[in-house]
C-alpha cells in the first residue's frame, strides 16, 4: 500500500471513530439517517449513498434515506426482493458490482425513474446482532477506481453502528410516544370513571344524571378519536408507513371532502365552498393520506370558525414551478401569534379552545407528518378575529 493510500485509510478510520460517538448519541431518526448516508458516501469516495430498510410487517424493502440531489425522489420507494439490496439482505453478505450494466440483479428501473446513472456499487447488510434490518449502499466511485476489501470493511463497520443507532432511535420514539399517550388518555378516563361512580353510588336527580351521562358520552368519544389518532401518528413516526405515490386528480378529492363535511358546516351556519382550476390538475401523492390532510384542515376550519363565517378550499396550479398549491382558508377566530409556532406540536391546543371545542391536539401533527413525508412543507397564516389559512404545495403530475 502506498503512503498516500495508507494516510487516506487512516483518515477514514479516524472519521469512522469520531462518527461512532455521534451515532450513539443521536436519537433524532432523520438526522441520524442523514449522518449515515453522508458518512457512507465520504468513506467510500462515492457520489451517493442510501439506506434501505425492511418493513418489519410486510417484509418489503424500501429506500429510507439517500444522499445527493436525488434523495427526495427515491425516498420511500419500494425495491424488489431480487435487486442488489434484496440479495444483500437475504444473504446477509456484502457485494461489490464493478459494472452494474453487466449484473442482472441491478434494479435499473429506479435509475430510469429518477434520471440517475449508476455505474458501480458497493452494498453491505445492516445487522443488529444476527438480524438483518436493511442494507447500506454506495454508488459510483469518484474516478471509477475499483472498490476494495477495505471499502467493504469500512462500510461494514459503519453499517453495524448505524443499525444499532437506528434501532435505538426507533425504540426511543416508540416509548416516548407511549408515555405521552398514556398521560393524555388519563384525563378523559378520569372523568369517565368519576362521573360513572357518582351515577352508580348515589341517588341523583334525573336532570343532573342526564348531564353526567352526556359528559361520559363526550369523553368516551374523545377517547375513541384519540386512540385512532395515536395509532395513525405512531405508524407515521415509526417510518413503517410507505406512501402510495400516484397521480391524484385533486378537484374531485376536494369536492369529496366538501360533501363529507358540509353537514357540519351547515349545522354551524357556515358557508363552505371551493376555488378550483377549470381544467383539472393531477398531483403526485398518496390519495388517502392527502384526503386525510384536507379533511383535518377543513374540519378545523369549521370547528374554529365564528358565526356567519366561511370556509374555502383552494387549488392553484403554479405552472412555472410545476407545483400545485392547496389552501384551506377560513374567516374564523384565528390563532394568536404566540401560539402559532407551536400548533404543529403534538397535543398542543390554543388555551381558550381547551374545554370549549372538542379535540385531541393531534390533527395538525398528523397533517404535518404526512406533508413532510411528501417532501413538502405546510405553512400557516393567521390573524385573530380575521381568519386562518393553511397551505402546502405538491408536485404536479406530468
Ligand atoms: P385539535 O383540533 O384536535 O385541537 P389540531 O392539532 O388539529 O388539534 O389543532 C391544534 C390547535 O390549533 C387547535 O386546538 C386550535 O387551537 C388551533 N387551530 C387549528 N386549526 C385552526 C383554525 N383553522 N383556526 C383557529 N385555530 C386553529
Taking a C-beta distance cutoff of 8 angstroms, is the pair 243, 76 a contact?
A: yes
Quick one: pLDDT at residue 140? 95
Quick one: pLDDT at residue 240? 66
DSSP for 54-111, please give it. E-TTT--EEEEEE-STTHHHHTT-EE-TTSHHHHHHHHT--EEES-GGG-TTS-HHHH
The whole-angstrom separation of Cα 124 and Cα 129 is 15
Q: In the numeric block, which cell numbers belong to residue 244? A: 402510495
Does residue 18 fall inside a structural domain? yes
Does residue 397 fall inside a structural domain? yes
Residue 199: other Cβ atoms inside 10 A:
14
Q: Are residues 154 and 254 in the same domain?
A: no
Best of 330, 361, 383 for a ligand 1 pocket test (most atoms within 8 Å of beta carbon)? 361
The whole-angstrom separation of Cα 43 and Cα 8 is 10
Quick one: pLDDT at residue 14? 83
Q: Which atom of ligand 1 is nearest to the CA of 366?
A: 6
Q: Are residues 260 and 161 in the same domain?
A: no
Q: Are residues 158 and 306 in the same domain?
A: no
The whole-angstrom separation of Cα 382 and Cα 360 is 21
Q: What angle do CA 174, 178, 181 make, to 5 degrees?
A: 140
How would residue 94 be classed by pLDDT, with cut points 50, 70 and 90? Answer: very high
Taking a C-beta distance cutoff of 8 angstroms, is the pair 48, 67 a contact?
A: yes
Of the residues 143, 168, 193, which one is the last residue of a structural domain?
168
Best of 221, 300, 303 for a ligand 1 pocket test (most atoms within 8 Å of beta carbon)? 300
- Say if residue 176's pLDDT is above 80: no
Does residue 88 fall inside a structural domain? yes
- Say if residue 64's pLDDT is above 80: yes
The whole-angstrom separation of Cα 120 and Cα 105 is 12
Quick one: pLDDT at residue 239? 66
Q: Are residues 41 and 131 in the same domain?
A: yes
User: Regarding predicted confidence, which is higher, 256 or 165?
Assistant: 256
CATH number of residue 43's parent domain: 3.30.450.40
Taking a C-beta distance cutoff of 8 angstroms, is the pair 97, 90 a contact?
A: no
Does residue 135 fall inside a structural domain? yes
Quick one: pLDDT at residue 3? 77
Does residue 218 fall inside a structural domain? no
Q: What is the mean pLDDT of residues 258-267?
A: 96
- Say if residue 88's pLDDT is above 80: yes
Q: What is the mean pLDDT of residues 364-374?
A: 93
Of the residues 168, 196, 221, which one is the last residue of a structural domain?
168
Taking the centre of ligand 1 as the mean of its atom positions, its distance from the CA of residue 349, in whole angstroms, is: 6
Q: Are residues 254 and 151 in the same domain?
A: no
Nearest CA to ligand 1 atom 7: 363
Quick one: pLDDT at residue 134? 95
Q: Are residues 163 and 250 in the same domain?
A: no
Does residue 232 fall inside a structural domain? no
Q: Which domain holds residue 8?
A: 3-168
Could you give the percent of the chain with pLDDT greater than 90?
A: 57
Q: Are residues 256 and 370 in the same domain?
A: yes
**CB proximity list for 15: less than 8 A, separation 6 or greater:** 39, 42, 43
What is the DSSP pairing of strand 121-128 with strand 131-141? antiparallel
Q: Are residues 256 and 151 in the same domain?
A: no
User: Regarding predicted confidence, which is higher, 296 or 75?
Assistant: 296
Does residue 87 fall inside a structural domain? yes
Q: Which atom of ligand 1 is nearest to the CA of 348?
A: 10
Q: Are residues 78 and 164 in the same domain?
A: yes
Q: Are residues 390 and 249 in the same domain?
A: yes
Quick one: pLDDT at residue 321? 78
CATH number of residue 290's parent domain: 3.30.565.10
Does residue 194 fall inside a structural domain? no
How would residue 355 be classed by pLDDT, with cut points 50, 70 and 90? Answer: low
Of the residues 146, 168, 190, which one is the last residue of a structural domain?
168
Residues with CB under 6 A from ligand 1: 300-301, 304, 330, 332-335, 343, 348-350, 353, 359-365, 388
Q: SS3 of 149, please?
A: helix
Quick one: pLDDT at residue 41? 95
pTM of the predicted model as reported, rounded to 2 decimal places: 0.66
For the chain, give the mean pLDDT: 89
- What stretches of the chain show up as alpha helix (H) in DSSP? 3-25, 29-43, 71-74, 84-91, 108-114, 149-201, 206-238, 250-267, 287-303, 363-373
Taking the centre of ligand 1 as the mean of its atom positions, its distance from the CA of residue 165, in whole angstroms, is: 35
Q: Are residues 274 and 132 in the same domain?
A: no
Q: Are residues 163 and 22 in the same domain?
A: yes
Instruction: State how many domains the chain has.
Output: 2
pLDDT in tens, 199-229: 998 888 999 899 999 999 999 998 998 888 8
Quick one: pLDDT at residue 61? 92
How would residue 259 be classed by pLDDT, with cut points 50, 70 and 90? Answer: very high
Best of 233, 294, 305, 353 for a ligand 1 pocket test (most atoms within 8 Å of beta carbon)? 353
DSSP for 306-320, please give it. -TT-EEEEEEEEEGG
pLDDT in tens, 122-151: 999 999 988 999 999 999 999 999 999 999
Amino acid at each position: 500500500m502506498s503512503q498516500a493510500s495508507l494516510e487516506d485509510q487512516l483518515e477514514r478510520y479516524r472519521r469512522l471513530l469520531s462518527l461512532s460517538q455521534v451515532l450513539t448519541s443521536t436519537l433524532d431518526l432523520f438526522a441520524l439517517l442523514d449522518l449515515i448516508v453522508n458518512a457512507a458516501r465520504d468513506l467510500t469516495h462515492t457520489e451517493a449513498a442510501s439506506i434501505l430498510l425492511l418493513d418489519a410487517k410486510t417484509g418489503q424493502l424500501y429506500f429510507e434515506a439517500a444522499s445527493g440531489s436525488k434523495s427526495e425522489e427515491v425516498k420511500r420507494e419500494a425495491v424488489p426482493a431480487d435487486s442488489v439490496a434484496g440479495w444483500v439482505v437475504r444473504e446477509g453478505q456484502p457485494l461489490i458490482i464493478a459494472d452494474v450494466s453487466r449484473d442482472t440483479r441491478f434494479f435499473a428501473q429506479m435509475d430510469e425513474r429518477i434520471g440517475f446513472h449508476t455505474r458501480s456499487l458497493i452494498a453491505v447488510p445492516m445487522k443488529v446482532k444476527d438480524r438483518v434490518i436493511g442494507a447500506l449502499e454506495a454508488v459510483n466511485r469518484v474516478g471509477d477506481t475499483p472498490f476494495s476489501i477495505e471499502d467493504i470493511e469500512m462500510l461494514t463497520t459503519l453499517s453495524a453502528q448505524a443499525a444499532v443507532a437506528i434501532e435505538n432511535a426507533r425504540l426511543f420514539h416508540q416509548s416516548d410516544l407511549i408515555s405521552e399517550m398514556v398521560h393524555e388518555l388519563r384525563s378523559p378516563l378520569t372523568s369517565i370513571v368519576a362521573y360513572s361512580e357518582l351515577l352508580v353510588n348515589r341517588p341523583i336527580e334525573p336532570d343532573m344524571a342526564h348531564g353526567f351521562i352526556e359528559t361520559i358520552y363526550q369523553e368516551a368519544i374523545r377517547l375513541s378519536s384519540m386512540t385512532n389518532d395515536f395509532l395513525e401518528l405512531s405508524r407515521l413516526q415509526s417510518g413503517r408507513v410507505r406512501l402510495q405515490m400516484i397521480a391524484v386528480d385533486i378537484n374531485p378529492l376536494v369536492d369529496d371532502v366538501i360533501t363529507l363535511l358540509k353537514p357540519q358546516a351547515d349545522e354551524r351556519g357556515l358557508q363552505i365552498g371551493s376555488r378550483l382550476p377549470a381544467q383539472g390538475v393531477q398531483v403526485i401523492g398518496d390519495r388517502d393520506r392527502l384526503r386525510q390532510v384536507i379533511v383535518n384542515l377543513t374540519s378545523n376550519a369549521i370547528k374554529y370558525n365564528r358565526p356567519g363565517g366561511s370556509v374555502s378550499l383552494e387549488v392553484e396550479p403554479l405552472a412555472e414551478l410545476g407545483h400545485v398549491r392547496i389552501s384551506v382558508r377560513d374567516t374564523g377566530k384565528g390563532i394568536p401569534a404566540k401560539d402559532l409556532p407551536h400548533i404543529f406540536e403534538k397535543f398542543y391546543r390554543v388555551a381558550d379552545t381547551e374545554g370549549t371545542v372538542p379535540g385531541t391536539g393531534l390533527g395538525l401533527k398528523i397533517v404535518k407528518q404526512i406533508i413532510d413525508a411528501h417532501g413538502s412543507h405546510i405553512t400557516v397564516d393567521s390573524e385573530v378575529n380575521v381568519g386562518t389559512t393553511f397551505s402546502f404545495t405538491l408536485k404536479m403530475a406530468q
